[in-house]
Amino acid sequence: MDEQRRVLLVEDGRLIEVDGTSSSVLMRDATAARYLPGERTVVAQHGRVPRLSVLRPGGRPRDLVGGGEFACELLGVLPGRVVYRTNRRHRLLFDVVIRSVLLGEEQAVYRRGGAVQEAAVSPNSRHVAVRLPHKLQLVDTMPVTEDDQVRLLSTEAAGGGHRHLHWLPDAKRLVASVSAEDSTDVTRYDLTKRAWTTLVGTPVAGAVGVPSPDGRLLAVAGGTALSVHLASNGNVRHEMALGDTADVSSLTWTPDSSHLVVSAGADVVVLGARTGRHSTL
């Protein structure tokens, strides 16, 4: 969702923008998309071998990166920049790259290989959390020495561990969801203390915790339930049931932290984070 509460949805390969009561198809063969912060510009991942393009509603897609035999997969966006992973150096090894959309300049912030599953760049671009199959690493983009560049945050269990990585706006704390067989803990890592703290525990495997852009609230969704908590201590603000057959597949905040957009089964629900009122798109 962007600042004007337009929503991007990917449905059966179609990239759809919902604007109030109307909708339009922006692209076909899409698998992921994000608005650039503060812009109407959309970054879309598409193609059998994933590549990235940029477009504005009503315009034609413009190639950004990829289009060959190597993959370029969208990891996140920053103002004017896109974060992606690519295996162009080696088919089985991935780098994490930040690319300027306007200038085309790039910075490879992680080049140590491995099957990078997820990465999150801090708001000041100083640190990158990189999730590999069996470990979570913290990368410093401006290290004093090369030995200071990568730090191990945790070893990871196969099929579990820290996922859904999100930085808080102070760029010093990282939020992650840790799922076990029958539960999920939403945890926070403090770079200064070098320690993890559990904020919210839920008896749902595969639940997701996402902090609001202003860092004050924390949304937790899993199965048929959605709750909003204080990010400082995990205390509950609102709780709601999404229906007996709901299954949350995505959870997104509006840029002003006022609302949540939740994909649950066939429905897309918009929830007022402070009021608890909700409606279905």
Whether the CA torsion 99, 151, 218, 246 is positive or negative: it is positive
Three-state SS at 157 = coil
Q: What is the pLDDT of residues 254-272, one digit of tens each?
A: 889 988 888 766 677 787 8
Residue from 113, 105, 62, 104 nearest 86 by CA: 113
pLDDT at 120: 94
Please report which confidence band the pLDDT of residue 157 belongs to, taking 50, 70 and 90 as the band edges: confident
Cβ-contact 278, 242 below 8 angstroms: no
Q: Is residue 155 helix, strand or coil?
A: strand
> SS3 for 179-206, per residue?
ECCCCEEEEEEECCCCEEEEEEEECCCC
Q: Quick one: DSSP state of residue 148?
A: G
Tens of pLDDT, residues 162-208:
999 999 999 999 999 998 888 899 999 999 999 999 999 988 888 88
User: What would the two tokens of residue 41 be?
Assistant: 């510009």
Phi, psi of 203 (to 5 degrees): -80, 45
30-34, 70-74, 133-137, 147-151: the lowest-pLDDT one: 147-151
Asked whether residue 244 carries a pLDDT value surpassing 80, the answer given is no
pLDDT at residue 173, rounded to an integer: 96
Model confidence at 245: pLDDT above 60: no
- Rounded-to-integer distance, Cα 204 and Cα 183, Å: 5
State the Cα–Cα distance between residues 211 and 166, nearest whole angstrom.
7
pLDDT at residue 139 in the model: 93
- 227 is written with which tokens? 């709750």
**pLDDT-above-70 percentage for the chain:** 95
Q: Tally Cβ neighbours within 10 Å of residue 58.
A: 8
In DSSP notation, 228-281 reads EEETTT--EEEEEE--TT--EEEEEE-TTSSEEEEEETTEEEEEETTT--EEE-
Q: What is the pLDDT of residues 34-54, one digit of tens each?
A: 999 988 899 999 999 999 999
For 36, which DSSP code?
P
Q: What is the mean pLDDT of the chain?
A: 88
Q: pLDDT category, 226, cuts 50, 70, 90?
A: confident
Domains (range + CATH), the chain = 117-281 (2.130.10.10)
For residues 76-98, average pLDDT: 91
Residue 237's pLDDT is 87
Which amino acid, residue 59? G
Q: Which residue has the higher pLDDT, 48 or 90?
A: 48
Are 95 and 86 spatial neighbours (Cβ–Cβ below 8 Å)?
yes
| 231 CB-near residues (< 8 Å, 6+ apart) | 168, 175, 188, 199, 211, 212, 215, 216, 217, 218
Q: Are 262 and 249 in contact (CB under 8 A)?
A: no
Given this model, what pLDDT does residue 248 score?
Answer: 65
Q: State the pLDDT confidence band at 22, using cuts at 50, 70 and 90.
A: confident
How far, in Å, are 27, 42, 128, 265 from residue 58 at the CA level? Answer: 10, 12, 34, 29
